[in-house]
Chain A
């Protein structure tokens, strides 16, 4: 990657996260993950469930679930080390610096507080506004978010809203803090496809408008292509491929990415069967040696079963952890 003139907004260096499994066994769930997000940039993080995407996001904000902890590495935001700071310092970064929207709009809003109040709270807490100003801002945000009849809607409780509306409220509450970086943990997974598209379009336009950076976790490639410029592909707790989205999806240089791209149904072509990746992601604590994807990989050789497979730069901002990255890239480009 060419050196950028400014340091990146967010830098994750060699981050490892250990979790405790039942039986008090400690295993590494996220291993040696490094990536960065520049100011105003949108980066996607894709991978199957259990690949460590959400843990990585949570580690950035210091809200790992009980039993999980950062075992190595650094997270720097605007040059400041977030993992070394205490809770009070972290609180200053949360909100105005980085904030996060969650996967489940059903559970991510407080069930006993009116949704308007929740946006007002976020606006007041971080910007020190009077209640009146914050209320006006909440209404403005809600309208901006495409919430119909915003004024009436804001006086309702979360259970009275549809999933799409709730997700809009959540985004409004996150934006009320005016973060410089917004972490999105599969915010549209629980929604209908049409609503998904609306929310993604909304996020894209808001990002452009506010100059906010985005780190977007999902397993939906098509959605990512609309929103992000770069992508990091995670498998079994490691980043296995990175690059510009257009290049990466057109010519994946890791068999896992290739599998993901193939498994994405294409509306334009008529196919009878969906192509999957054989096997399933290895459970925590039972990850294979060598390249952790080798048991499911059709290109794997004996050389893949042992050793270490770090991310190798391939030029043009791309990198892959596959031993045969060049070959895979060439093959996929030719349309296997």
Chain B
């Protein structure tokens, strides 16, 4: 007969040491490789991403140019690696401010309720009434191309998801006894919100941020493709795809290679996001 394990301590310890989810491992590996390559860009590329060699344009893959050259003789491998640098860093920055703003607004709305809640959540409704890309493209178009416009546009559009997630958590948390205990100790509203509620509800927002980055990368690449994103000659995957398109029939690799890079990066981030959600037990 099998021994029955003791319920309390042993079970809890097992619970805490659950194995690392496989998708977390896979996602971490994929994204880790891409991030390492982006960081080590000068070490693993032989040419600058904007260095032109007009005597050697549209070359196929060779020992000198692993992935060939584009229409200005720039090394595709270099542009790809430096493009990862641009796109990833813009995406990571772009996810931060909607995360912070959405979390604060959502927590405030959920905690205070009433008129303020109604105002914030109706504003959120207005934003989601527009399709994501329509609003982002419109805003970047109005603000003028560039990283700053991307940050602003993404913030305006995606704070909504964070606000909704955090508001839900706050509605539950605000009636927890530890929040009541903080209130009866005479603490002020902002203090209770920041110290007692936000740290307890922010986990879900963090998990969502991981999948939101994927969306942001796609948005950045899309904007680059439309010529509204990172401005040339700075390397950007979207801009690479757009430029390569004119040679699609003869040099298909120019558009396809950055496309594959986007897919792999998105996949890595998605796996990572799922893995983190699994690890934190939300989602």
Asked if chains A and B come from one complex, the reply is yes
The number of A-B residue pairs with CB atoms under 8 Å apart is 73
**Judging by beta carbons under 8 Å apart, are A112 and B177 in contact?**
no
Interface assignment of B257: CB less than 8 Å from any CB of chain A:
no
Interface assignment of B178: CB less than 8 Å from any CB of chain A:
yes
In the complex, what's the smallest C-beta–C-beta distance from A103 to chain B, in angstroms?
8
Which residues on the A side are within 8 Å of B181 (C-beta)?
100-102, 108-109, 170, 173
Q: Which of A96, A110, A121, A170 has the most CB of B within 10 A?
A: A110
Interface assignment of B188: CB less than 8 Å from any CB of chain A:
yes
Nearest 6 A-B pairs (CB), nearest first? Answer: A95-B186, A94-B186, A108-B177, A110-B178, A100-B184, A107-B177
Interface assignment of B199: CB less than 8 Å from any CB of chain A:
yes
Interface assignment of B251: CB less than 8 Å from any CB of chain A:
no
Contact of A113 with B199 at beta-carbon distance under 8 Å, contacts A125-B187, A177-B186 already known: yes
Which residues on the A side are within 8 Å of B176 (C-beta)?
107
Which residues on the B side are within 8 Å of A95 (C-beta)?
184-187
**Judging by beta carbons under 8 Å apart, are A66 and B199 in contact?**
no
Whose C-beta in chain B lies nearest to the C-beta of A117? B195
Interface assignment of B30: CB less than 8 Å from any CB of chain A:
no
Which residues on the B side are within 8 Å of A240 (C-beta)?
none
In the complex, what's the smallest C-beta–C-beta distance from B281 to chain A, in angstroms?
13
Partner of B200, one of A94, A112, A125: A112
Interface residues of B in 168-225 (CB under 8 A from A): 175-178, 180-188, 191, 195-196, 199-200
Interface assignment of A65: CB less than 8 Å from any CB of chain B:
yes
Partner of B186, one of A91, A103, A111, A173: A91
Cα A121 to Cα B187 with chains together (Å): 9
Contact of A102 with B177 at beta-carbon distance under 8 Å, contacts A111-B200, A113-B199, A121-B195 already known: yes
Partner of A177, one of B183, B185, B188, B196: B185
Whose C-beta in chain A lies nearest to the C-beta of B183? A63
**Judging by beta carbons under 8 Å apart, are B199 and A112 in contact?**
yes
Whose C-beta in chain A lies nearest to the C-beta of B171? A66
Interface assignment of A38: CB less than 8 Å from any CB of chain B:
no
**Judging by beta carbons under 8 Å apart, are A63 and B180 in contact?**
yes
Cα A127 to Cα B140 with chains together (Å): 51
B residues near A (Cβ < 8 Å) are: 175-178, 180-188, 191, 195-196, 199-200
Interface assignment of A236: CB less than 8 Å from any CB of chain B:
no
Interface secondary structure of B, over-half rule: helix
Which residues on the B side are within 8 Å of A92 (C-beta)?
186
Cα A111 to Cα B199 with chains together (Å): 9
In the complex, what's the smallest C-beta–C-beta distance from B196 to chain A, in angstroms?
5
Cα A274 to Cα B173 with chains together (Å): 40
Cα A60 to Cα B229 with chains together (Å): 58
Contact of A65 with B175 at beta-carbon distance under 8 Å, contacts A102-B180, A110-B196 already known: yes
Cα A213 to Cα B18 with chains together (Å): 48
Cα A177 to Cα B181 with chains together (Å): 12
- A-B pairs with beta carbons under 8 Å apart, 26 shown: A61-B183, A63-B183, A91-B186, A92-B186, A94-B183, A94-B186, A96-B186, A98-B184, A99-B184, A99-B185, A99-B186, A102-B180, A102-B181, A103-B177, A107-B176, A108-B177, A108-B180, A108-B181, A109-B178, A110-B182, A111-B200, A122-B185, A125-B187, A125-B191, A126-B185, A174-B185
**Judging by beta carbons under 8 Å apart, are A61 and B184 in contact?**
yes
Partner of A111, one of B178, B182, B183: B178
Which residues on the A side are within 8 Å of B184 (C-beta)?
61, 63, 94-95, 98-100, 183
Cα A240 to Cα B245 with chains together (Å): 86
Interface assignment of A81: CB less than 8 Å from any CB of chain B:
no
Interface assignment of A104: CB less than 8 Å from any CB of chain B:
yes
Which residues on the B side are within 8 Å of A102 (C-beta)?
177, 180-181
**Judging by beta carbons under 8 Å apart, are A173 and B178 in contact?**
no
Which residues on the A side are within 8 Å of B191 (C-beta)?
125
Q: Which of A93, A112, A126 has the most CB of B within 10 A?
A: A112
Contact of A66 with B175 at beta-carbon distance under 8 Å, contacts A174-B185, A177-B185 already known: yes
Partner of A107, one of B178, B182, B183, B199: B178
Which residues on the A side are within 8 Å of B182 (C-beta)?
110
In the complex, what's the smallest C-beta–C-beta distance from A158 to chain B, in angstroms?
9
In the complex, what's the smallest C-beta–C-beta distance from B150 to chain A, in angstroms?
33
Which residues on the A side are within 8 Å of B199 (C-beta)?
110, 112-113
In the complex, what's the smallest C-beta–C-beta distance from B236 to chain A, in angstroms?
39
Which residues on the B side are within 8 Å of A107 (C-beta)?
176-178
Cα A49 to Cα B178 with chains together (Å): 21
Q: Which of B183, B184, B187, B188 has the most CB of A within 10 A?
A: B184
Q: 1/0 per residue A165-190: CB within 8 Å of B? A: 00000100110010000010000000
Q: Which of B175, B187, B191 has the most CB of A within 10 A?
A: B187
Which residues on the B side are within 8 Å of A111 (C-beta)?
178, 200
Known: A95-B187, A99-B184, A173-B185. 15 other contacts (CB 8 A): A92-B186, A96-B186, A100-B180, A101-B181, A102-B181, A107-B178, A112-B199, A113-B196, A121-B187, A121-B195, A122-B185, A125-B185, A126-B185, A173-B181, A177-B186
In the complex, what's the smallest C-beta–C-beta distance from B172 to chain A, in angstroms?
12
In the complex, what's the smallest C-beta–C-beta distance from B170 to chain A, in angstroms?
13
In the complex, what's the smallest C-beta–C-beta distance from B183 to chain A, in angstroms?
6
Cα A282 to Cα B105 with chains together (Å): 43
Cα A147 to Cα B178 with chains together (Å): 20
In the complex, what's the smallest C-beta–C-beta distance from B279 to chain A, in angstroms?
16
